A and B are shown apart, each in its own frame.
Chain A
């Protein structure tokens, strides 16, 4: 196992990676074990504690884990020898971290309460009277832990103000600052809690200041509301209270504030400002004596606190003169040679968010104070010698100043700013570093943000950028980025279009001698971007491209990259709304490329675009092409992604599934769709004749409709859970059946009911058959798939239809028709007629059962031991059965008007009689999708 010296840094570098090979519990247990180890030295233990100091919640994800760990650490702390002061301090901080971060403190765990008591006892030993100097650092740490607990759980010490005040007064060592901070924080939180309470009277107020009780466990909600104080709407204490004592306390704190370090002093000042804001009886004038010292300070925190004071009290503490003075001071500091750059940038921000006594707007947006004039900010003009950040910050600032000053386009100040931008571009022109380039483009962006409405200036910039590009075409990505961003910011601004137009003009006007493969790549990038602009005419682009293709050896150079870049331009052109006006030129270009560009991939793509162009309307191919994201965000993962993005590629490709996804299952024939086309009222006499006539009508009763459920197969592939626009295609044996139309199903979800589809078969010859089914569908991610379904068998009996007589025809009349057909068949009319006989023995079941099971719906007449059964088989055939039950055999006389059906009839009868039990099975098994063949 790696040593702790390696494991701890590797944990700190990435806790998630570290814990991917172990668990936090194991690691924590090991850690605590090692901490208890007497042999380990203090520095090793301090190293181990850094894990708990920085990532307590990773190791103790729950409150209970936090409790246990804190308990362990407390016991380790108790056994740590007196002289290990540093270790003790680290342990104390670790415990505080664990208690706060795992919410042990918020939930008032026992261990948190004990620890608080321990800390509070520690800090009572003021001036190290009892513990001696050895415990000085421990006491300091205890103060910091208590302060952090009060900060995270505001109000915790609100009932101990008197003790804390007393301790603060007692302490004279350097720890005085910690005590003072602790007391001020507790006092501030206590006052804030009071402002949220009703009926606060003098007695209550005094009792809070003189509080000497236990820890105040606030509700979590209250604590949170106290944590975030908004100075915009500060709740106040009632004015009726007596604030004399509080005022003297605060004055004393303020007086002693010079004993504190600058960070602590700044925090203290803010605390006091917040308190004065909450206490109506104490005037902000209490700070008056501090103001001059603060105005002159070189310290950024104290200056910031002063601005906070200014924002809170405005004209109740700061006169208009003060305000003017402070602003001048800020401007001076924003360029002071002895301050650090981040501080100067911050002061510039402070000017833009200056808390004016009489603000015009309070939106929180950047806004120049009224007193800031161009004259006052002369010294903040940016120069090329500034570092990037300062330069951009100053440029933005000065742009605001001159925009505010409502200068005309030829104004002097504005002229200086333009000059500056031009000076930057001159450096870029002279091969400035990458940083200079980026900074210059940012400067242009900042400038345009403010002045893009000024025609002449922005035109001047366009001109300069065009000139710059003509010499430095590697700036193409920067220029494209600039046009994109400006377009995003100002939808109605034409600046980007003007720049792109200028660049286009520059490129198409280049003499061929100046073109290299390298520069061409950049030009094509620009032209591709230009082609996205509907307001720019594209004919010159196409002519340029055609020209270089025809009049150079580009096609023979076989550069795939250049080819792809040209196609990228074409692709955008295909989507251009003025495509019609350049149709022929573009077609020429694509055709030339598909014929002459000596790279197969490029040729193919050009041909593809050519096909799109010449075969589809603009709306259609623009629709197809627009599916790919525009703007270069697409990741280039495959070759085709450059000319046609991958998304487009996959949406044009139909993918093949590996296995069956769908199936058709025969539905119960509960809604037998008998074909009953005629509504004519027929007289008794002519029924047979009319029927014969109808059979001669083309299309009469020539279809069998079979109903299936379209369902998913049982294997689950979540990609196919939701399918859309399913198209079912059937391949039939065309010698016996007509082609079946495709069936469209809008959608199919695995978790919903299967979809019913009706397949209509039109037989030429009503023989059993099997249908080959395939489907094309779309999945949720937009991909198209092709899949085969299991073959669908159509059995002989599935083609049987009841004789298509008008509904309501009585059995008697049906029998009449039966007899007439029988007669005609036996008399050899039509010529294909034939009769036959089939005999079988009845089994255990009676014949009646058999007939009911198989022939129900087809039985025409029934007498004792005699049945007449009539099957109609589209398009116009009949099978007639006359069944007579003898003593031990059953005779089935068969007559049909198509003798070719006889073998099928025979096998059908054999099947139902020989395997009567099997037949019963068959019924149920077809329903579950397993077909049994006859």
Chain B
């Protein structure tokens, strides 16, 4: 249960490839040799790693249209584990290499195989696989933070600089002892545990001293695909996370957070909990999105007793099926020579609180010449036309009007002499509008954390802060007069 090597590589669309970090674990390699015997293949030298990985990831030689080694249709790209073909003939392979690719950043590691290597064992039979996946995930969190965006170059450089010493703590000999601290934050010097009989958990390097504060933040994301078409069913779903930060005294303080749903709310599904949750009621886990639930399903309250770590953490996450999308859109395009006639209507559902932090609709146009004359009127909000990007942004502000309905109408002439952006999906009048919004203090599922339901068993009464918000994520409204680039199948987001 260990990893043989770990790499961090940066590249820009397959060019200026650089091995930013590499760490090998020779004692694990020693074991790998023992296990594999005649099948042993040594880890390639650092100077070769980047190219091998880029080839397997299909990123090598971006200027060449077709290379067998990179583009062969029988390469098993469907597994989370890659094989690197080493040696001049490529006959020997280093397997299984796990990778996480985020923008121009590639994280890779090679877990140890502790079972006979031939025939190639299934991934789930190897303990090191999940260990490698977990290590890469936490490495990604360390380098990039949780935002999902690649860090600024100088931030990356400074985080990479501290990586060796962090790994010395977390994974000195190839067996991970802990996850890496997130967002490159090194643990602050903390008051050591009080000693005594109570054992200090390994995931908590000290104890909190000072004012007790517990923050519980509930964030729901809503995704949607609206086609406005009889033959294709509109889709939307919701997933939520509960993030906690608990500044509470004591080595192992007990905290309980309870999620509640409104009386007729649909149950929370696919609940995943943080390892610090000490016990779970079986009913909490019963609802699943993969099968139809009958009305009798458990619908709360959902109690999560836990002993918190010091840093913020994701207590639990869930999915939910809600009856309506918060904003129903309709998008009609009509093509006429070099111009498009637009008609957009957005309706805010009556159950949704009409108070946005922001709400924007983005209407991009692809595979056309650049925009010329734009003649569009809206009943509410402001427009911003970006002619060089063929993009129209409609700022709807904080509120929909009383009618809860806004429209956009007009014509765009694509009379420019230069071609605008292209997209293989949005040809002809296949087009979409994407919505971005945030509504504070609202969840679509109705799920909430009542301030009073947060229980903390400690000597001092902590301050408790609870928040909730609804965010859009991949919220698309497709032009109902054009084809949509999806199969007619049971597309689930």
Contacts and interface: CB of A to CB of B under 8 A. Distances in A.
A17 to B, nearest CB: 7
B273 A296 contact: yes
Contact of A56 (B26, B115, B116): B26
Interface stretch (B69-77, B210-218, B399-407, B436-444): B69-77
A259 B488 contact: no
A463 interface: no
A297 B123 CA distance: 20
Interface string A797-821: 0000000000000000000000000
Contacts of B200: 172-174, 176, 259
A308 interface: yes
A305 B134 CA distance: 13
Main secondary structure of the interface of A (DSSP, over half): helix
Interface in A402-431: 415-417, 419-420, 422-423, 426-428, 430-431
Nearest to B19: A13
Given A148-B27, A376-B291, A292 B129 contact: no
A299 B314 contact: no
Contact of A263 (B66, B134, B205, B487): B134
Nearest to B125: A353
Nearest to A145: B173
B239 interface: yes
Interface in A258-285: 258-267, 270
A478 interface: yes
Interface string B73-99: 111011110000000000000000011
B58 A435 contact: yes
B285 A329 contact: yes
B155 interface: no
Name which of B70, B77, B123, B288 has the most chain A CB atoms within 10 A of its CB.
Answer: B77
Contacts of B239: 336-338
B40 interface: no
Contacts of B22: 12
Interface string B163-179: 01100100011011111
Contacts of A54: 23-26
Interface string B376-387: 000000000000
Nearest to B427: A430
A295 B285 contact: yes
B72 A485 contact: yes
Contacts of A101: 26-27, 29-30
A293 B277 contact: yes
Contact of B280 (A55, A266, A293, A419): A293
B178 A264 contact: yes
A525 B284 CA distance: 60
Contacts of B237: 337
Nearest to A89: B168
Given A375-B291, A383-B491, A439-B77, A172 B193 contact: yes
B485 interface: yes
Given A384-B485, A431-B422, A296 B271 contact: yes
Interface in A434-467: 434-436, 438-439, 441-442, 444-446
B58 A438 contact: yes
Nearest to B314: A298
B212 to A, nearest CB: 22
Interface in B263-318: 269-282, 284-285, 288-291, 307, 314, 316-317
B199 A256 contact: yes
B447 interface: no
Contacts of B125: 353, 364
A386 to B, nearest CB: 10
Q: Output the residue of B237, B285, B367, B489 with the most chain A CB within 10 A.
A: B489
B418 interface: no
Interface string B4-27: 000000000000000100111111
A267 B176 CA distance: 10
A716 to B, nearest CB: 28
Contact of B485 (A295, A427, A441): A427
A90 B165 CA distance: 10
A902 interface: no
Contact of A343 (B133, B317, B425): B133
A385 B493 CA distance: 9
Nearest to B476: A385
A393 B492 contact: no
A346 B133 contact: yes
Contacts of B45: 13-16
Nearest to B171: A263
B229 interface: no
Contacts of B395: none
Given A332-B289, A431-B422, A12 B100 contact: no
Interface string A239-267: 00000000000000000101111111111
A655 to B, nearest CB: 26
A381 B491 contact: yes
Given A329-B288, A342-B136, A148 B173 contact: yes
Contacts of B338: none
A345 B133 CA distance: 11
B130 A301 contact: yes
Contacts of A432: 424
A433 interface: yes
A35 interface: no
B47 interface: yes
A291 to B, nearest CB: 9
Interface string A378-394: 11110111001100110
A265 B275 CA distance: 10
A338 B272 contact: yes
Contacts of A333: 270, 272
B241 to A, nearest CB: 6
Contacts of A488: 74
Nearest to A488: B74
Contacts of A122: none
Interface string B474-492: 1000000000011111111
Given A89-B168, A419-B488, A228 B291 contact: no
B130 A346 contact: yes
A178 interface: yes
B288 A328 contact: yes
A57 interface: yes
B177 A177 contact: yes
Nearest to A439: B77
Contacts of A90: 168
B127 interface: yes
A151 B285 contact: no
Interface string B117-158: 001011111010111011111001000000000000000000
A649 interface: no
A389 B424 contact: no
B327 interface: no
Contacts of B192: 133, 173
Contact of A292 (B47, B177, B204, B285): B285
A152 B27 contact: yes
B68 interface: yes
Interface stretch (A92-100, A875-883, A910-918): A92-100
Contacts of B72: 481, 485
A9 to B, nearest CB: 9
Counting chain A CB atoms within 10 Å of each CB, the highest count among B66, B114, B422 belongs to B66
Nearest to A364: B122
B448 to A, nearest CB: 19
A259 B252 CA distance: 9
7 contacts: A50-B164, A227-B34, A259-B202, A293-B278, A298-B273, A364-B119, A378-B290
Given A174-B193, A261-B203, A427-B425, 14 more contacts: A54-B23, A93-B172, A172-B199, A173-B200, A176-B199, A267-B127, A304-B130, A342-B137, A353-B125, A364-B121, A383-B487, A423-B485, A423-B486, A442-B78
Q: Sort A-B residue pairs by CB-CB distance and give the 9 closest, nearest first.
A: A416-B489, A419-B487, A304-B130, A177-B202, A298-B272, A392-B78, A432-B424, A345-B80, A393-B78
